[in-house]
Structure 1
Amino acid sequence: MSQSELSLGRQLWRQTWPMALGVLSLLGFQLVDSAFIARLGTAPLAAQSFTFPLSFLIIGVQVGLGIAIAALISRALGAGEGQRARRLGSLVLITGSIAIAMLAGVLWGVQARVFRLLGADTATLALIHDYWGPQLLAAWLGAVLYFSYSLFRAHGDTRLPGKLMVLTSLVNLVLDPLLIFGVGPWPGLGLPGAAWATAIAFASGLLLIARRLRHSGWLARYGLTMEARQSAGTFAGIAGPAMISQLMPPLAAMLATAIVAGLGETVVAAWGLAVRLETVSLMVVLALTMSLPPWLGRCYGGNDWAQIRRLMALATRVVVIWQLGLGLALALSAPWVAAALSGNPEVRDELAVLIRGLLPSYALLGVCMLVVSAANALGWPLRAMLMSCARLFACYLPCLWLGAQEGGVIGVAIGAAVGNCLAGGLALGLYRRSINGMKGGVVDSTENC
């Protein structure tokens, strides 16, 4: 490895490690949530698992808006337009908060119909109803906090978001057992206690970051209406395809849950834990999708395509090596990991099968996620959207459905793994075609794949 590559690697590490630590803690507390809920029984765990697709829907919208925030602000900073970056920062905080609040209201109103369509029975619907209200509040608080993180990342500061992710995770970890199971004479809240713990944790993080934002100089009070008119088209051009790309996973998760629900309640519970474990195992990939796009956006604003190529090559190597090594290690230790996450023997056995089949395939899934994230930063939002669509609806879901039909839970694991591998290969091919199509650093704005 050359000296320039080593220097680039150190810079990437400095940008990524705070986000990796933060993502690990944030996703870790979600996994701990599920582990605590599993102690309540299979029914509460299955009820929480049914809510994942709609929770991912909110996350999809917030991440799509966050991608647009990071892309536009980092490009403005790269082009030396500091005042415009401040106006954009204020706009996205206001509009993003309103948009997520409206979405949460809609999801509260349609809950019974949607969860029934996903396969929840009457008893499960009763459990979901008590949990869904505080969970939606927690989701809104988390979204506003995420938009604030996006502002810091766009300005190259990944340390504070990483620290606050760790802090909110610790608050949640402390509150989870107290609110779920109770303490002393105070009874626990059961399943809703997990959502209230998350809401309180996010609220504490939001209070802390709001104070930093007020003194950051990254926000503007004036010129917002003018900026909204000027930037609406560009913002929509990035945020629209990005949100569609991010909304596809929740839709696919709903369909996947419906497929898995046909195999029984224990498989649904195991699938829910596997989904939580998936996000934790992808912590490095998720950190890179947060830290890398602002850097790529600044290179894009400065028309530095040679640096973009070097960054993507390095990030791809990191993702493949890390995810393959971690996936194989978790696959070999699957029985012990499953036992730590669930006390139910049936759920534990099903989960071990899913871990063995799925975890190694995340090496190529990670490549796909990296390419989609980078494409939004590099002015290819439609390609990112099409790649997300192909990953889920041409690769993942057909293989998952076929596996479930032919081999039960083993087939589900194998089918999902095959779909992930196909998606990674397809994404890598699309990226190479796009980057090789750049001639003299001229951006191809036709968005033809």
Structure 2
Amino acid sequence: MSEVEKPKKKTRSFDLTKGAVHKHLIRMALPMIIGLSASMSFTFVDSYFIAKLGTNEVAAMGFVSRMVMIYFSVAIGLSAGVTSVLAHLAGSGDQDEVKKLATNTLIMTAILSLAISIFGYLTIDPIFTAMGANEHVLPHVREYMMIWYLSPLFVILPMTGGGVMRALGDTKLQGNLMLVSAFANAALDPLLIFGLYGFPELGFAGAAWASLITRFISFAVILYALHYQYNVICFSKETINTFAASLKKILHVGIPATGTNIIIPIVAAIVISIVARYGTEAVAATHVATTIEMISLVLFFSTSAVVGPFIGQNLGARKFDRIDECIKSVSIFCMAWGLFVAIAIALTAPTLAGLFRKEPEIIALAQSYLYVVPISYGLYGIVMSVNAMFNSLGKPMPGVAISSIRVFFLQLPLFYIASEFYGLEIAFITISISNAIAGVIGYLWIKDTVNKLKHA
């Protein structure tokens, strides 16, 4: 049998258009919950060990984490574009197009990562100075980011590659990989920060090196799996020739999805610059509170990661009853889990706030955040899932609008006014108000959109 006549390997995928809706969502969500919990622990673990170095280092991590999240948001947006387009193709059974688009995604990721590294190295001092990092904090920021800017490819490719896997209905490998990476990062942090067991004592830079090493491992495993397990990488001339067409499809959703995600850390960076006017301790306290928040939101991140491929495949199969059921189930879950988390955090806020630093002013301000913002987590969870749903429907602009309303038109101006006239404790309440309003808007908007598609 000639090379041309050899049967093509099938891409590995799961059919989400049949079977119980809740079972598919749970099957895909469980690995993501475990994996994302572990992945979110990167910042938590880094912050825990860095807190032992001093308040300036904690404040530096507060600035660094905001900037890193901006780049993560770019990766999340591209991943959403890939997931949306590939899920439609998987739902329609077009395996050749799946391979072309997945391969071109990797090429695009490599180009983008190089651009981010170059831009990052040229702008460390001006950007972080504008954010409010003072002469005591900026050297630590510079120390960390000089290392971190080696890693954009190792950060972005696992996320876009994970988007390919989710589009095919599989989240297990990505979840397991994030779990292993988190354990590796937690083990390397103290070794490299404090120089234990013969390792070099790198201080603040040790956390950056630990993350770089574990991200590289994830990168290598994802690349191997996409090629040998999922059979979606094919650098043929025909594939390369479709690069522009693939890029157009991905960016149709990817650019708005990136906008939806990137405005959140951009506003967070502006907010931290407002907080910085209250001093280094205020920045440290806010970072402590938001680090705890990231762990608390992990189930919402997991849910938003799996609703996209589910809705995408069912849209491709025109099964709107399953999409309606998905929206209902996700909304009920978000509200129930949000209530539980808010109560749990309120009961444990003093203990949680004291895990990192013992200064009374840092603990008190972190508690103020943890008492009021989690009240809105249920509706914020709906915002996350609704944005993912719009992306999977191929209609990313409503997600951009909802996120813009939440952070640009509500949170930022309200936070600034409240902090200017009433203090940070009152300003934190405005974050909760913004989340709640956006959640209601998002739910009503997605229901109306699906209803119109159903009857189109």
Q: How does 1:198-209 map to 2 (within 5 A)?
A: 198-209=211-222
In 1, Cα distance between equivalents of 2:254 and 2:266:
18
Aligned-pair identity in percent equals 26
Residue from 8, 27, 31 that aligns with 2:44: 31
Q: 1:372 to 1:347 in 2, by over 3 A?
A: same
- Could you tell me how far 1:185 is from its partner in structure 2? 5.4
2:235 is the counterpart of 1:221: yes
Deviation at 1:11, TM superposition (A): 2.2
Asked if 1:124 corresponds to 2:137, the answer is: yes
2: distance between equivalents of 1:366 and 1:341? 26
Q: 1:407 maps to which residue?
A: 422
Structure-2-length-normalised TM-score: 0.92
d(CA) in 2 for partners of 1:421, 1:439: 28
Q: How does 1:156-305 map to 2 (within 5 A)?
A: 156-184=169-197, 186-216=199-229, 217-222=231-236, 223-305=238-320
Distance (Å, rounded) in 1 between the aligned partners of 2:347 and 2:152: 34
Partner letter of residue 209 of structure 2? W
Question: How far does the alpha carbon of each residue in 1:193-222 deviate from its partner, in whole angstroms, 9 at most, with x for none?
Answer: 111101111112222233222212122222
Secondary structure of 2:423's aligned partner: helix
Instruction: Say whether the 8 Å CA contact 1:395–1:423 is kept in structure 2.
Output: no
Hey, what does 1:382 align to over in structure 2?
A: 397
1 CA distance for matches of 2:154 and 2:356? 27
Question: Which residues of structure 1 form unaligned runs of 5+?
Answer: 443-449
Contact 1:354–1:410 (Cα < 8 Å) also in 2: yes
Instruction: Show the counterpart of 1:446.
Output: none
Match in the other structure for 1:12: 25
The alignment partner of 1:340 has SS state of coil
For residue 403 of structure 1, report the CA deviation from its aligned partner.
Answer: 2.5
Instruction: Measure the CA separation in 1 of the matches of 2:64 and 2:117.
Output: 13
**Aligned equivalents of 1:139, 1:102: Cα separation in 2:** 9
Equivalent position to 2:34, from 11, 14, 21: 21
The answer as to 2:107 corresponding to 1:94 is yes
| Counterpart residue identity of residue 164, structure 2 | L
Aligned residues: 437
Which of the residues 355, 362, 366 maps onto 1:340? 355
Classify 1:49/1:139 alpha carbon distance in 2 versus 1 (closer, same or farther; 3 Å): farther
CA distance in 1, matches of 2:96, 2:70: 33
In the alignment, structure 1 residue 316 sits paired with structure 2 residue 346: no
Question: Is 377-386 or 83-92 further displaced after alignment?
Answer: 377-386
| Structure 1 position 431 matched with structure 2 position 446 | yes
* Offset of residue 317 of structure 1: 0.9
Please state whether the residue corresponding to 1:420 is helix, strand or coil: helix
The separation in 2 between residues aligned to 1:372 and 1:383, in whole angstroms, is 8
Q: Once the 2 structures are TM-superposed, how far is the Cα of residue 75 of structure 1 from its aligned partner?
A: 0.7
- Retained in 1: the 8 A contact 2:84–2:391? yes
Local SS of the residue matching 1:308: helix
Q: Is the 8 A contact 2:104 2:247 kept in 1?
A: no
1:273-330 deviation line (CA, Å, top 9, x unaligned) = 2222222111111111111201111111111111111111101111111122112111
Q: Which one-letter code corresponds to 1:273 in the other structure?
A: V
TM-score by length of 1: 0.93
How big is the shift at 1:179? Answer: 0.7
The one-letter code matched in structure 2 to 1:94 is I
Within 1, Cα distance between the matches of 2:218 and 2:246?
29
Shift of 1:186: 4.8
Pick the aligned partner of 1:135 from 148, 169, 181: 148
- Following superposition, the deviation at residue 229 of structure 1 comes to 3.4
CA displacement at 1:439 relative to structure 2: 4.3
Runs of 4 or more consecutive aligned structure 1 residues displaced over 4 Å after TM superposition: 184-187
Q: Is the 8 A contact 1:22 1:162 kept in 2?
A: yes
Equivalent residue in structure 2 for 1:54, among 53, 56, 67:
67
Task: Report the AA paired with residue 29 of structure 1.
Answer: F
Superposed CA deviations along residues 4-54 of structure 1, whole A, max 9, x for unmatched, are x99322221111010011000110232111111111110011111112222
Q: Which AA in structure 1 matches 2:376?
A: S
Distance 2:259 2:46 in 1: 28
Contact persistence 2:21–2:322 (CA under 8 A): no
Give CA deviations for 1:66-97 in whole Å, capped at 9, x if unaligned.
Answer: 00111111111111111100111111011112
Match of 2:6 in 1: none
Distance (Å, rounded) in 2 between the aligned partners of 1:230 and 1:59 = 25
Instruction: After TM superposition, give the deviation of residue 392 of structure 1 in Å.
Output: 0.9
